[in-house]
Amino acid sequence: LAEHSYPHCWRCKKPVIFRATEQWFISMDKDGLRRKALDWIDRVEWIPGWGRDRIHNMIANRPDWCISRQRSWGVPITVFTCKDCGALLATPETFAHVAELFSAQGADCWFALPPEELLPSGSRCSQCGGCHFAKEMDILDVWFDSGVSHAAVLEAWPTLRAPADLYLEGSDQHRGWFHSSLLAAVGTRDVAPYKSVLTHGFVVDGQGYKMSKSVGNVIAPEEIIRQYGAEVLRLWVSAEDYRDDIRISPDILKRLSEAYRRIRNTCRFLLGNLSGFDPTRHTVPYDQLQELDRLALHQLQDLMGETRRAYERFEFHRVYHALHNYCVVDLSSFYLDILKDRLYTAPAQSAERCSAQTVLYEVLVTVLKIMAPILSFTADEAWWQLRATHPDLPASVHLEALPDINPAYQDEALKERWNTILALRSDVSRALETARQAKVIGHSLDARVTLGLPEGLEEAFVGQEELLGTVCIVSQMTVAADGEALDGAVEGIAIPGLKILVGVAEGAKCERCWVWSNTVGRKAEHPTVCKRCRQALTAMGH
């Protein structure tokens, strides 16, 4: 007795009995449909690239297309059979007449009306001349229905055009919609129905398992929106690489919620520090901007280029990572951290503060445009806040296009110089942390840093002590003279040969800017502030 598996009905679980019946087919090779379809596959952009190989193999190896189904309702196959000789009646005239009836009464009239009312008056069999016909009761495969959607939509609406720019669906549609659309379009129009096809994976739980109510690992969108808001849900969609199956879990959502908070807080900081800035009156020309501000504009161009390329390739996860990294690393941890001193202490319309605000305005407008397709509500909320003081802006960020790179803001030589400064800052930060742990200092502004520069850097940074002190956020920065001993100095890692000696800053702490200086208390009218802050207060009329 041999045992073997046998197919069962998925619905009622009973054994399936196979019975050969007559069906309608579209030949794959008689008129070259297979060859033409394979040719058009190579003219379409497949995202990701493996989609091309998958559908190519399916088309190359598939049998003829069975387009008929035996169902009680569906889109009918509108042909007739002569009752006298069995010949088929399917002519342009009969199709046109049926199409007129469908347009007036709907496709259900095929099932309601007798053949003589579905045929043009005087219809005769081309073989025997008979006038008695039976209508076909099979319906079209539903994949044929969806496969001709390009004709029903793109060709029916004057504001649309064929072929479609993009088809997108799950990876199962290589044997479904992508497949039937290609065959239907190539067979009837001699052209693919799409220019690009994007395939995404399926949503699974945090361990990569399929979601199931019985397992209890389903996370409903309503729950996410209720707990985190719609923006975090949108951020999750954009942050995941859809080319693979997309994981979701409470831990993933929590991490993205934190990422969203960081991006939102960056926008809040930018908005909050544009108070009093009028771009029509206070914008500083590029060649008059401070060096750090010009670097920030260069970094902004890098972000614009990276995100535009990602958007054009539908790589939304790269947009998210680039935007988040820019907000956290380039802005919050670097540029904005250094800029706080200038923004908080310089007079309102001073050249140095306007230089900073010129760039902050450019950064905010650009970041909002970049994030608008992903964080739509947050981008518009910030845009409305900005527009309250800048009414010349469009009513919504969604009326703006993605920003274009400004070549005038790109400066590779400046970037190269600042790569060295950033490496130096990294080594100084490590030395400051060592001093902090040893209780030598508390805050970085409590420090006086002496640098022993390796050969090759003296020429670049001697005389740049004020800039380096600002970048490293220390009160005093000096460069050691040749041969000066720096006992207890920390050795550089990012810059081999660099020596960093951290000590306690000299003078007294300014209560306004918190910088330690020997100039604090030299004027009776402002006994607790440094010279720089006295000048700022005088400029502001205090």
Q: Which CATH number among 3.30.200.100, 3.30.2320.20, 3.40.50.2300, 3.40.50.300 corresponds to the domain 412-506?
A: 3.30.2320.20
Q: What is the mean pLDDT of the chain?
A: 93
Tokens of 297: 């504009």
Query: What is the mean predicted confidence (pLDDT) over 357-367?
Result: 98
Position 399 scores a pLDDT of 97
What tens digit of pLDDT does each residue of 188-230 get? 999 999 999 999 988 888 888 787 777 778 888 898 999 999 9
- Nearest by Cα to 295 from 251, 331, 270, 259: 331
Position 510 scores a pLDDT of 95
What tens digit of pLDDT does each residue of 84-109 get? 999 999 999 999 999 999 999 999 99
Q: CB–CB of 233/221 below 8 Å?
A: yes
CA distance 126 to 93: 13
Query: What is the mean predicted confidence (pLDDT) over 458-478?
Result: 92
- For residue 194, the cross-strand partners are 164
Classify residue 200 by burial, with Cβ atoms within 10 Å: 0-12, 13-18, 19+: buried
Q: Which CATH number among 3.40.50, 4.10.240, 3.30.70, 1.10.10 corresponds to the domain 78-137?
A: 1.10.10
Position 368 scores a pLDDT of 98
Query: What is the mean predicted confidence (pLDDT) over 145-155?
Result: 93
Position 73 scores a pLDDT of 87
Cα 214 → chain centroid: 33
Query: What is the mean predicted confidence (pLDDT) over 482-490?
Result: 82
What tens digit of pLDDT does each residue of 152-168 get? 999 989 999 999 999 99
What tens digit of pLDDT does each residue of 520-539 get? 988 888 899 999 999 999 88
Q: Which residues contact 71 (CB under 8 A, 6 or more apart)?
A: 139
Tokens of 120: 């043009």
Position 483 scores a pLDDT of 66
Is residue 485 over pLDDT 80?
no
CA distances from 88 to 23, 80, 321 (A): 14, 6, 61
Q: Which CATH number among 3.40.980.10, 1.10.730.20, 1.10.150.300, 1.10.357.10 corresponds to the domain 257-409?
A: 1.10.730.20
What tens digit of pLDDT does each residue of 419-437 get? 999 999 999 999 999 999 9
Is residue 463 over pLDDT 90?
no
Is residue 484 over pLDDT 80?
no
Give domain limits for the chain. 25-68+144-200, 78-137, 257-409, 412-506
